Amino acid sequence: MLSWKERADIIHRTVTSGLKHYTKEDARFMAVFLAGEVGELCNLIKKEWMEEFGVAKSQGDKREAIRMELADVRICLELLAKCFEVNLERACGEKLTICEARWPEAGEAVLRVERSKAPKKPATTEEMKDALGRASQLLEDWVGSQSEGYSASLAYDSMEIVRRWQRGDFL
C-alpha cells in the first residue's frame, strides 16, 4: 500500500507531465498552487465566520469542505518541500526546538508532557521500599496531628498496611 505522500507524488507527476518535476519551475508552480489552496481554505473560514455574525446566510456545515482544503494545503506543502529537498518532519522538529528556546515556559511545558507520556520503568524493590517509608512517615505525621475519629483510624490502618509490606508480609 502506498503512503499518501507517494500517491501525491504520482498524481503530481501525472497531472503536470509538461513540467520537469522538483525543479525551480516546478517549485514556482507548486508555490502558486499552494497559495490558491490556502486562499480556498481561507474563503471557507471567512464564509463560516460571516454566517456566525449573521452577515451571510448559512450554507450549511463547512467542516468537511474545510477538512478537504486542509488536506489540499498539506499535500501542496509536501510537494513544494520536495522541490527544495526539505524533509518537513525534520524541519518542523528543528523549528519547534528553536521556538522552545525562544519561549522557555513553552519548552518547559513540552518537557512536562513528554515526561508524562514516557514509558514508566517498573520500580525496583528498593525504590518501592523507599517510597513506602516516606509514605509511612507522612501518615504517622498526619495521624499525630489529627483528633481521634474515623479518619485517624483509617490513616492508622493504612499505615499498618505499609508497615506489613515493608516487613515483607505480602511478598
Q: Report the CATH number that the domain containing residue 41 is assigned in CATH.
A: 1.10.287
CA R_g for the chain:
30
Q: What pLDDT is stored for residue 6 in this prediction?
A: 96
Q: What pLDDT is stored for residue 22 in this prediction?
A: 95
CB 110, CB 100: distance < 8 Å: yes
Residue 39 lies in a domain: yes
Residue 6's φ and ψ, nearest 5 degrees, are -65, -40
Residue 113 lies in a domain: no
17 and 63 fall within a common domain: yes
3-state secondary structure of 128: helix
Task: Per-residue pLDDT tens, the chain, 171 aa: give them.
Answer: 999 999 999 999 999 988 899 999 999 999 999 999 999 999 999 999 998 888 888 788 889 999 999 999 999 999 999 999 999 999 998 998 888 888 989 888 988 888 788 777 776 778 777 777 777 776 666 566 655 554 555 555 565 666 556 555 544
Q: What pLDDT is stored for residue 128 in this prediction?
A: 76
Residue 161 lies in a domain: yes
3-state secondary structure of 22: coil
Joined grid coordinates for residue 21: 518535476
Maximum Cα interatomic distance, the chain, rounded to a whole number of Å:
88
Domain region containing 152 = 125-167
**How far, in Å, CA of 153 to CA of 159, rounded?**
10
Number of separate domains in the chain:
2
End-of-domain residue from the set 106, 139, 157: 106
